[in-house]
A and B are shown apart, each in its own frame.
Chain A
Amino acid sequence: MASVILPATPSESRPGRFGVYGGRYVPETLVAALVELEHEYEVAKADAAFQAELAALLHDYAGRPTPLYFAKRLTEALGGAKIYLKREDLLHTGAHKINNALGQGLLAKRMGKKRIIAETGAGQHGVATATVCALLGLECVVYMGDVDMARQELNVLRMRLLGAEVRGVSSGSKTLKDAISEAMRDWVTNVRTTYYLLGSALGAHPYPTMVRDFQRVISKEMKEQLQEKEGRLPTAVVACVGGGSNAIGAFYEFIPDRQVRLIGVEAGGRGTALGEHAARFRSGVPGVLQGTYSYVLQDEDGQIALTHSVSAGLDYASIGPEHAALHDSGRAEYVAQDDAAALEAVVKLARTEGILPALESAHAVAEALRIATTYSPRDILVVNLSGRGDKDMGILAQELKL
């Protein structure tokens, strides 16, 4: 019998690739589980009953569709493009993360897995996963870096209240990257019984594709809602990018509409030196981290760099592989906004619109504030407000001296 696996195939033609990016770079122990997941997901995706159950939960439980809100006072204050906010912050649990957690939670249940593990940075994915596990009656363990547990304590408490076990991670930078490594160690050990509910469009195939599919509802609704309100496409869509799930969800349906600018906003942190930011497209180099080939902040010896951002959810050394491909093709643009700009954007949006964005989402707001005046009132910017800022009150109190 001839070998069915042909490693000489050019990597670009393999499934799970976005241009040269993506792929499946994991220890051998996990491969069978990833292949099974890929297959089960494809079957579920094509199953009308699965899609109907997910749609019903998204509607009745999570609160979809989310409003597309015209930010009139902010628009008037800036005097440029019309600014719309896609209100993912109004979803149950407070961020877009619930879209993916519900989808994968239903998939895990369908696959007969009773134990769910997840990583979390800002805690929004952890809370969404803990919520879905409570809803579906599944055991839940969430890995979170010690630094993030301290700065997003409210979310830690919410996860515990929901019945999840939160395991602190004290290795490396004690942030999202280390939480993912620890979750992968758990998965390698318990792969036969455990479902890894990855929260961003990251990791080994099929995760980047599957998470994007569960998040593309954002751009689908944006497009329909703007058509209804304005009868046209937006000039630009702006979203923050950590791993990149809210951004790929906000961009995806607009990719074929080449006149729509797609702008991803990375964390500029507190400086431009390696270690002071999480702007992968500023100084990252393609490499492999945690299962996927993408841009990675790293030193000259291939060791992964430390990162910094005021927002835990953007504080990550790599970026989803589909963003790497969109970057290289020029279809999407990526910029960085720093900690100070994000904090200013929180205040600005809170005081003009009465909306408190998550620090992550505030990076996208900051970019919208910057570019709005370069446009005329005939132009439309849609900002994906991926999450709400209640979780950040501790940091905001400290940083803004409230």
Chain B
Amino acid sequence: MALRFDHKPDLVIYLTAGDPSLDATRAIALAAIDAGAAVIELGVPFSDPLADGPVIQRASERALAHGTRLKDVLALAKEIRAARPAAGLIIFSYLNPILRHGLTRFADDAAAAGVDGVLATDLIVEEAGEYLAELARVGLAPIFLAAPTSPDDRLEAIASHSKGFVYAISRVGITGKQQSLTTDAAALVARIRRWTQLPVAVGFGISNANHVAQVAEFADAAVVGSAIVELIERSTPEEAPGAVARFIKGLRLPEAALAR
């Protein structure tokens, strides 16, 4: 039960909770952990996901269409924690569902579920005073996004208020797959490291073993989201855990790195 990255490159796997069902998300998460994911990000579906590309938008719509709620995601987190005590587990959400749940109640419930940390997509450090206090009260790690457009004073604040790891956005833009990593990512990680000893995970657009191998050269972990969510979209609920496990193993094949 910790946010630890022991096997560079470690993998952080994003799943939209409730897509295609809560049961399926649990099975997929367990399979992903067993295949080597260091951290699972459980995404809370939101009606207006303005930082997400089409793949995660569609997944959110599907999850909401069959009534996935924040309290269901927290219950799912508790089940995953019980089944895999050593895995890293964070809640990834837009702010409004958390506010509606109540910041204090959310912190209590997330801690009770055994979650390690929380990332709120549309909450920046300047606005996070009460949120930081509530997460600190229950010992949850606040994880903030750092962007290529963030100047150094912001990176310093982001680094100093993050716990567990810092999430570096590989490029400007919304979530989604891309052909190649931009040079933005390495430069951003180097700038972040000036301010913190925390591990740095790089996300947005990472979809194959080449990307993961590239990230391994300068960061501690790679976050894979849309590529996994799209794979789940293409699979039946029964096939999805196996397909995701194979995909994750493929992301860490050393041959891919050597062949590059």
A5 with B153, Cβ < 8 A, contacts A11-B130, A285-B100, A287-B99 known:
yes
Q: Which of A7, A10, A24, A171 has the most C-beta atoms of chain B within 10 angstroms of its own C-beta?
A: A7
Q: Decide if A184 touches B147 in the complex (CB within 8 Å).
A: no
Q: Decide if B126 touches A27 in the complex (CB within 8 Å).
A: no
List chain B residues, Cβ under 8 A from A43.
none
Q: Decide if B125 touches A301 in the complex (CB within 8 Å).
A: no
Among candidates A23, A26, A180, A301, residue contacting B69 with C-beta atoms closer than 8 Å: A301
CA distance A298 to B100 in the complex (A): 9
Q: Which of B51, B61, B95, B161 has the most C-beta atoms of chain A within 10 angstroms of its own C-beta?
A: B51
Q: Decide if B129 touches A9 in the complex (CB within 8 Å).
A: yes
Q: Decide if B129 touches A24 in the complex (CB within 8 Å).
A: no
A181 proximal to B (CB < 8 A):
yes
CA distance A8 to B157 in the complex (A): 12
| Chain B 89-125: CB-based contact to A (< 8 A → 1; otherwise 0) | 0000011111111000000000000000000011111
Q: Decide if B157 touches A303 in the complex (CB within 8 Å).
A: no
B154 proximal to A (CB < 8 A):
yes
Binding-face segment, B21-29, B42-50, B210-218, B246-254: B42-50
Per DSSP, chain A at the interface is mixed
A189 proximal to B (CB < 8 A):
yes
Q: Decide if A302 touches B101 in the complex (CB within 8 Å).
A: yes
CA distance A303 to B57 in the complex (A): 14
A3 proximal to B (CB < 8 A):
yes
Q: Decide if B149 touches A191 in the complex (CB within 8 Å).
A: yes
B165 proximal to A (CB < 8 A):
no
Q: Decide if A7 touches B51 in the complex (CB within 8 Å).
A: no
Q: Decide if A303 touches B50 in the complex (CB within 8 Å).
A: no
A172 proximal to B (CB < 8 A):
yes
CA distance A298 to B48 in the complex (A): 11
List chain B residues, Cβ under 8 A from A5.
125-126, 153-154, 156-157
Q: Decide if B97 touches A303 in the complex (CB within 8 Å).
A: yes
A46 proximal to B (CB < 8 A):
no
B144 proximal to A (CB < 8 A):
yes
| Chain A 33-62: CB-based contact to B (< 8 A → 1; otherwise 0) | 100000000000000000000000000000
Q: Decide if A303 touches B127 in the complex (CB within 8 Å).
A: no
Q: Decide if B95 touches A29 in the complex (CB within 8 Å).
A: no
B128 proximal to A (CB < 8 A):
yes
Q: Decide if A177 touches B95 in the complex (CB within 8 Å).
A: no
Q: Decide if B122 touches A288 in the complex (CB within 8 Å).
A: yes
CA distance A23 to B94 in the complex (A): 16
Among candidates A11, A188, A190, A191, residue contacting B51 with C-beta atoms closer than 8 Å: A188
Q: Which residue of A lies closest to B95 (CB)?
A: A288
B30 proximal to A (CB < 8 A):
no
A370 proximal to B (CB < 8 A):
no
A304 with B47, Cβ < 8 A, contacts A7-B157, A28-B150 known:
yes
| Chain B 128-167: CB-based contact to A (< 8 A → 1; otherwise 0) | 1110110000000000111111110110111011000000
B70 proximal to A (CB < 8 A):
yes
Q: Decide if B173 touches A298 in the complex (CB within 8 Å).
A: no
A25 with B47, Cβ < 8 A, contacts A188-B174, A302-B99 known:
no
CA distance A192 to B171 in the complex (A): 12
Q: Which residue of A lies closest to B167 (CB)?
A: A28
Q: Decide if A27 touches B100 in the complex (CB within 8 Å).
A: no
Q: Decide if B154 touches A7 in the complex (CB within 8 Å).
A: no
18 additional A-B pairs beyond A31-B149, A302-B46, beta carbons within 8 Å, are: A4-B156, A4-B157, A28-B124, A28-B144, A28-B147, A29-B147, A31-B147, A32-B150, A181-B49, A188-B51, A188-B174, A190-B172, A286-B99, A290-B48, A296-B96, A300-B100, A301-B101, A303-B64
